[in-house]
C-alpha cells in the first residue's frame, strides 16, 4: 500500500467533506466536524503528555540520573484534583487546583502584562516621536495622537463631552482605521489558507487520480 497516496486521499476526503458546508449543513460536514473535534482532542492530550508532563513533571520527579523527588508529587496531586470535578462528590477538591493556577496566573500576568502591554507600549510610543523626514515626523505624531486619543476613548470615568469628547472622537476615528486594517489583514490570512487548500487539491491530490488509474505518472 502506498501510504503517501493514502494520506493525500484522506486529506482530500476530509477537505471535501468540510467544504461541502458551503452548500449547506449536511451529514458529510457533520462527520468531518465530529472527527476533527475527536482527533484534535486526542492530539492535544498526547501533545500535553509529551511536551508538558514528561519534561516538566515526570523528569523532575524521577530524574534520569536516579532518585525520586517527593516534592513533585504535590503538583501531580493538584492536577488530579482538577479531574475531581468529574465526580460531583469530590468536585470541591478542584477548587484547590483552580485556586493554585488562577493565583499563579494572576500574579504572573499582572507583572508581565504591565511590563509588556503597558510600560513597553508607552515607551515605544514616546520614543516614536522621532527625527527624520517630514513624513516620519507626521507618522510619529499620528501614532502618538492615535494612542492618547484611543486611550481617552476607553476612559469611561469621565463623560465624553467637551475636550474629552472631541479627543475621544479622534480616538474612535483612529480605532476605525486600525480595525479596518486588522480586518483586511485577517481576511487575507484566511484567503491564504484557502489558496493553500486549493493548491493541495490541485497539485497534490488531482495528479494521484491518473496514477491510480494507471494512466501515467
CB of 186 or CB of 214, closer to other proteins = 186
CB of 185 or CB of 215, closer to other proteins = 185
Residues 163-182 that bind other proteins (CB under 8 A): 171-182
Residues 107-166 that bind other proteins (CB under 8 A): 107-111, 113-114, 116-118, 121-122, 124-125, 139, 142-147, 149-151, 153-154
CB of 131 or CB of 215, closer to other proteins = 131
| Per-residue DSSP letter, 116 | I
Residues 37-56 that bind other proteins (CB under 8 A): 37-50, 52-53, 56
Kindly state the cell numbers that stand for 131.
Answer: 527625527
Q: Which one of the spans 160-168, 184-192, 207-215 is the region binding other proteins (CB under 8 A)?
A: 184-192
Q: Does 5 bind other proteins (CB under 8 A)?
A: no
Contact 169, 145 (CB under 8 A): no
Q: How far apart are CA 163 and CA 165, in angstroms?
A: 5
CB of 24 or CB of 214, closer to other proteins = 24
Local structure of 154: helix, strand or coil: coil
Q: How far apart are CA 94 and CA 53, in angstroms?
A: 19
Question: Which residue of 2, 26, 92, 206 would you call a contact of other proteins, by CB under 8 A?
Answer: 92
CA angle 127, 132, 148 (to 5 degrees): 40
Question: Which residue of 126, 129, 137, 191 would you call a contact of other proteins, by CB under 8 A?
Answer: 191
Burial of 157 (0-12, 13-18, 19+ CB in 10 A): exposed
Amino acid at each position: 500500500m502506498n501510504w503517501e497516496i493514502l494520506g493525500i486521499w484522506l486529506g482530500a476526503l476530509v477537505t471535501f467533506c468540510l467544504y461541502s458546508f458551503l452548500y449547506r449543513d449536511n451529514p458529510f460536514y457533520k462527520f468531518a466536524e465530529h472527527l476533527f473535534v475527536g482527533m484534535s482532542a486526542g492530539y492535544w492530550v498526547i501533545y500535553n503528555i509529551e511536551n508538558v508532563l514528561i519534561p516538566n513533571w515526570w523528569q523532575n520527579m524521577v530524574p534520569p540520573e536516579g532518585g525520586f523527588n517527593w516534592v513533585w508529587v504535590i503538583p501531580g496531586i493538584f492536577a488530579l484534583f482538577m479531574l475531581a470535578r468529574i465526580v460531583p462528590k469530590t468536585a470541591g477538591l478542584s477548587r484547590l487546583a483552580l485556586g493554585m493556577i488562577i493565583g499563579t496566573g494572576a500574579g504572573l500576568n499582572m507583572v508581565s502584562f504591565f511590563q509588556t502591554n503597558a510600560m513597553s507600549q508607552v515607551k515605544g510610543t514616546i520614543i516614536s516621536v522621532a527625527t527624520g523626514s517630514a513624513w516620519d515626523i507626521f507618522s510619529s505624531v499620528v501614532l502618538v495622537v492615535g494612542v492618547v486619543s484611543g486611550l481617552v476613548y476607553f476612559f469611561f470615568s469621565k463623560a465624553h463631552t467637551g475636550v474629552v469628547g472631541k479627543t475621544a472622537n479622534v480616538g474612535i476615528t483612529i480605532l476605525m482605521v486600525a480595525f479596518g486594517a486588522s480586518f483586511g489583514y485577517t481576511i487575507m490570512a484566511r484567503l491564504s489558507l484557502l489558496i493553500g487548500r486549493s493548491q493541495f487539491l490541485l497539485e497534490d491530490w488531482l495528479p494521484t487520480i491518473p496514477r491510480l488509474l494507471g494512466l501515467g505518472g
